[in-house]
């Protein structure tokens, strides 16, 4: 007995195409997958370091006691794309005389402000700077200024005023030289802090 098929008028689905055989072995496919993952991670890391965050290491004691030699920091490079640096911010900046070097300092005044030091005390617009973070033994006893910071520039000091190369020595820092705001000290872990 022959079985008869009746045309119902409904379209039938075409047969799926035959799979194309891969020219790679399973181990080669795994290597290609790992390579793609590593390449993607490298691209994301590059974008992150270029535009968002940077890891930095403190060299020297110019920011003591706030930051110590060999502290590891995370610098937020994105924050100053949306806001201007402010007095009190601890920043990473390019060293104006040699912009291939980077320093960490504290902004104490911005464009338009007048700065002077009297017996080591900082006056901004003739008002004493609230700088209780400077230990008495780290405070210099020099007189300096007065000096008006030009617009678009910042005046920076180290917290260890007796042992810091800063705007007193090499002048004001242009805005374009400020890399970002020091956001976190992550090493040593016992001294981790958010700024």
Is 27 among the residues known to form the active site?
no
Is 176 among the residues known to form the active site?
no
**Catalytic hit among 105, 110, 140, 181:** 105
**69 contacts 58 by C-beta, under 8 angstroms:** yes
Beta strands in 7-59 (DSSP E): 53-57
> How many angstroms separate the first and last alpha carbons of the chain?
89
**114 contacts 122 by C-beta, under 8 angstroms:** no
Beta strands in the chain (DSSP E): 53-57, 72-76, 90-94, 102-110, 114-118, 121-124, 127-128, 144-148, 153-157, 173-174, 178-187, 193-194
**Catalytic hit among 22, 27, 62, 110:** 62
Q: Is 93 helix (H, G, I), strand (E, B) or coil?
A: strand
Residues in the chain: 195
Active site residues: 62, 105
């Amino acid at each position: 007995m022959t079985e008869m098929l009746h045309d119902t008028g409904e379209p039938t689905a075409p047969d799926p195409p035959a799979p194309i055989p891969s020219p790679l072995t399973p181990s080669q496919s795994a290597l290609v997958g790992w390579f793609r993952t590593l390449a993607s991670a490298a691209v994301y890391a590059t974008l992150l370091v270029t535009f968002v965050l940077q890891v930095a290491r403190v060299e020297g004691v110019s920011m003591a006691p706030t930051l110590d030699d060999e502290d590891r920091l995370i610098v937020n490079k994105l924050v100053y794309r949306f806001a201007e640096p402010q007095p009190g911010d601890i920043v990473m900046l390019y060293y104006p005389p040699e912009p291939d070097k980077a320093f960490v300092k504290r902004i104490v005044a911005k464009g338009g402000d007048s700065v002077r030091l009297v017996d080591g005390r900082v006056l901004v617009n003739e008002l004493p700077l609230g700088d209780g973070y400077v230990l008495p033994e780290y405070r210099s006893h020099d007189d300096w200024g007065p000096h008006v910071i030009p617009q678009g520039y910042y005046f920076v000091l180290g917290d260890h005023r007796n042992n810091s190369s800063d705007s007193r020595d090499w002048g004001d820092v242009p805005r374009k030289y400020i890399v970002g705001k020091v956001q976190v000290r992550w090493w040593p872990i016992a001294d981790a802090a958010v700024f």
